[in-house]
Amino acid sequence: MNNIFAYDFMIRAFIAAALIGIIAPCIGTTIVLKRLSAIGDATSHSALAGIAAGLMTGVHPVLGAVIFSMAAVLGIEAVRKSFKNYSEIATVIIMSTGIGLTAVLSGFVGNTADLNSFMFGSIVAISDFEMILTVGLSVAVIAVTMLLYRELFYIAFDEDAAELAGVPVKTVNIIIMLLTAITVSAASRIVGALMVSSLLVIPVACAMIIGKSYKSTMIISIVFAELFTVGGLFASFYLDVKPGGSIVLIGVAVLVMLLIFFRRR
């Protein structure tokens, strides 16, 4: 059997996966508990449009994903204001826009294999530049999450009370959205834009079954996300399957086992 760590591309993939395994649940915990899980989907589809635009214009695809997904989350906030009592409409409109743009722009992308690798993830394609970009974006997400830990908790638990206590709710909500956009973009290379939203949600769903506090839920969700991403890379390498698919399927399998085990108890 080949030694998985004998390859530089695998070392890069493991480092990137380890970082994504931290940042995805950091931001996932907040969006799941705020019942905004669908935003991950809308953002990832917009990120895919940014990737297609990047491949078309020569801008780095991950940077394209960052720009488009940030525009998407700001767009969700803008549309949400017009439909105050039906805020989920905003998510669907932006997701549809992302899918539509991807469909149109993909027609102008020369090498569709590149776009496919971003849709379903790839472990061989991570360049040094993407590695540095992933590290930079991950450090930014981890730093902001730690700095705003109390604010994120209070807003997720009770937004009205947080506002009354003086938490700058609107600003923090926009920061949450931008962090989601960055996380989705950073993870799109290895997990795949179509599956990245599940990495925001599944580890948190697993952690919510056994977590005994907000803090422990966040820590446990990071442990699960690391298990899924690293396990997914092993599966991808040895079984020759797409890493995004293996990461998500391991996550779903663990979630199902936890649900069965804890329901029996």
Partner 1 sequence: MAAKYEEVLKIEKLYFDYSDTSVLKDVNLTLYQGDFLGIIGSNGAGKSTLIKLILGKLPYYKGSISLFGTDIKKSFPRDKIGYVAQKANSFNTSFPATVKEVVMANLYSKKGLFKRYNKQDEERFYEVIRRVGMEGCENRLIGRLSGGQQQRVFIARALISEPKLLLMDEPTVGVDMQSVTEIMNLISELNRQGITIVMTNHDTPALVEVSSKLLIFCSHGNGEFVDRANLTMEQINQIYAGKRRHNHE
Interface with partner 1 (CB under 8 A): 33, 35, 147, 150-151, 153-154, 156-158, 160-162, 164-168, 208, 211-217
Query: What is the closest distance, in whole angstroms, from the C-beta atom of residue 36 to partner 1 in the complex?
Result: 13
Q: How far is the CB of 174 from partner 1 (least distance, A)?
A: 15
Cβ distance to partner 1 smaller for residue 3 or 213: 213
Contact call for residues 217 and 153 (beta carbons, < 8 A)? no
Q: C-beta of 137: minimal distance to partner 1 in Å?
A: 21
Q: What angle do CA 247, 34, 231 make, to 5 degrees?
A: 10
Whichever of 212 and 265 has its CB closer to partner 1, that residue is 212
- Provide, rounded to whole angstroms, the least separation between the CB of residue 129 and partner 1: 32
Given the complex with partner 1, which of 66 and 220 has the nearer CB atom? 220
Burial of 50 (0-12, 13-18, 19+ CB in 10 A): buried
Could you count the other beta carbons within 10 Å of the beta carbon of residue 89?
Answer: 14
Whose tokens are 């807003």? That residue is 155
Classify residue 11 as exposed, middle or buried by CB count within 10 Å of its CB (0-12, 13-18, 19+): middle
Q: Kindly state the tokens that stand for 206.
A: 């697993």
Closer Cβ to partner 1, 14 or 154, answer by number = 154
Task: Report d(CA 91, CA 149) in Å as an integer.
Answer: 25
DSSP 124: S
Q: Which residue number, 139 or 143, has a Cβ lying nearer to partner 1?
A: 143
Least Cβ distance, residue 217 to partner 1 (angstroms): 4
Nearer to partner 1, 38 or 247 (CB): 38
Closest CB 220 distance from partner 1, rounded Å: 10
Distance between CA 226 and CA 224 in Å, rounded?
A: 5
Of 13, 9, 19, which Cα lies nearest the Cα of 135? 19
- The rounded distance, in Å, linking the Cα atoms of 194 and 201 is 13
